[in-house]
Amino acid sequence: MSNSDAIQLTADLIRCPSVTPEEGGALVLLEAMLSSGGFSCTRVDRGDVANLFARWGAKGHARSFGFNGHTDVVPVGDAAAWTANPFGAEIRDGIMFGRGATDMKSGVAAFAAAAVDFVQNTPPDGAVILTITGDEEGDAVDGTTALLEYMKTEGEQMSVCLVGEPTCPNELGDMMKIGRRGSMTAWLTFSGVQGHSAYPHRAKNPLPTMARLMDRLASFELDTGTEHFDASTLAVVTMDTGNSATNVIPAECRATVNIRFNDAHSGASLTRWLQKMAEETALESGIDIAMDIKVSGESFITPPGALSDLVAASVTAETGRVPELSTTGGTSDARFVQAHCPVVEFGLVGKTMHKVDENVPVEQINQLKTIYTRILRDYFA
């Protein structure tokens, strides 16, 4: 009987300094572990990004369960502020410290260990697929997207997928994600004419126009929410001139806004709205406004049904908690997976992710592995 140690695997992964886009040995470690567990493994590296595809069972099987996750982590930040080695996986009072402990090396370790034990102990009639990237915390251009493109080319298919991101706000089992808001950022440049502040009539000051447009955008009610989503939000995240002189009207200033949007909108529809608002303000003021927009991901929803019921039932059976079906939070690689197959997210409590002294209670790693094992068992039952 196999009994893969998810706690030890988490520690081993934390000790891999895999700050985006460095692989740091994490995927090498996982490939060796999964290969020894009977999985067929393929590295799907692209650009500077390392990715791993692993499958147990027949290629192209009509019934396959997929897991998705990432081993890359955000930078440590101020190392002197940590009370533990960020890449040491030190355990104190039952808590493991290290960058990636929560987001999400523990999640990857839990589903990898669960998958190996499951296929060795109770070989299913179907396939188990793991897609693990080293580019979730970065630009996410050559990570899960590369894995999904590889799968399409090779005729590989997940019937459903669970992303192991931390999803619980307070207690293990209190929340799972069935969708995510879309995200987009707009960079605006306002161009006028520089001049002396004592003679404003000889200049064309872009600053009032920037302030006016930012206020209009921030004050606009995009919507009041939809069936599964809260209201969309727009945040002004920076307004800059770089002007240190008090007697100079600047020629140029810049502002950036970030929008998190629900399924009442698309990146394209919000782009048109931003352009319309900018054009109207430019016409009123005579200030030129240029804009660059990046849509990081569209909103999506996996409607409550068989997959969410399966995951929720397993969570409740192992924790005694009924998880809330949520679409809150930022973006994740589920935004890419949703175009391939139905996808939900469930993982650990995310209170310390990206923080100094990021940590995870070691007992929760085993709990998570047990939940993932039950999900696999019940899916193939």
Active site positions, annotated: 72, 136
Whole-number Å distance between alpha carbons of 216 and 208? 12
> CA 259, CA 204: separation in Å to the nearest integer?
29
The angle that helices 26-36 and 6-14 make with each other, rounded to 10 degrees, is: 150
Contact 114, 77 (CB under 8 A): no
Single out the residue of 372, 365, 375, 329 nearest to residue 12, CA to CA: 365
Residue type, 303: P
Cα–Cα distance for residue pair 373/381, rounded to 1 Å: 12
Residue tagged 């020629």 (tokens): 251
